[in-house]
């Protein structure tokens, strides 16, 4: 798949510092975004592979706009389903092209019945402290989600 979009005047911030008492400086610029990817599904075992690239071009950089977060990124994913889709294991890899930071993510879900699902989601962040993913490196995050349908 592939898609593109163009904006005549997208608003960008021009400074990363954003304080509640001060107005954030912004600038408008024509903006072009392109995304392309490929996926492949294997039915035995039940697996899905996916890789996607997203990039952007800010056409007028006179005001030194700050790049939007996750604006130039490569994403890879593998998803494996077992036991008639009751157990699902997903590995996701996000790589920021602009600053070489990255985030591998692990997700595991189990559905013992049609009405109940338990999901564990664990992201990891790597990179320098001033990068898109590295700024979260000190955060040790995980989530557990319990879904009941009735």
Give residue 121's pLDDT.
93
Q: Which residues contact 43 (CB under 8 A, 6 or more apart)?
A: none
Query: Which pLDDT tens digit goes with each residue over 79-121?
Result: 998 888 889 999 999 999 888 999 999 999 999 888 899 999 9
Residue 20 has pLDDT above 60, yes or no: no
Placement of tokens 């013992």 in the chain: 112
In this prediction, residue 14 has a pLDDT band, given cuts at 50, 70 and 90, of low
């Amino acid at each position: 798949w592939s898609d593109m979009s163009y904006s005549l005047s997208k608003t960008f911030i021009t400074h990363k510092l954003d304080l509640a008492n001060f107005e954030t400086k912004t600038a408008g610029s024509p903006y072009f975004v392109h995304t392309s990817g490929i996926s492949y599904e294997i039915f035995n075992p039940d697996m899905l592979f996916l890789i996607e690239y997203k990039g952007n071009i800010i056409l007028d950089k006179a005001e030194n706009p700050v790049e939007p977060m996750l604006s130039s990124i490569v994403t890879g994913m593998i998803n494996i389903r077992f036991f008639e889709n009751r157990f699902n294991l997903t590995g996701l890899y996000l790589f920021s092209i602009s600053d070489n930071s990255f985030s591998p993510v692990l997700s595991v879900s189990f559905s013992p019945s049609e009405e109940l699902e338990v999901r564990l989601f664990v992201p990891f962040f790597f990179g320098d402290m001033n990068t898109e993913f590295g700024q979260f490196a000190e955060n040790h995050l995980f989530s557990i989600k319990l879904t009941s349908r009735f």
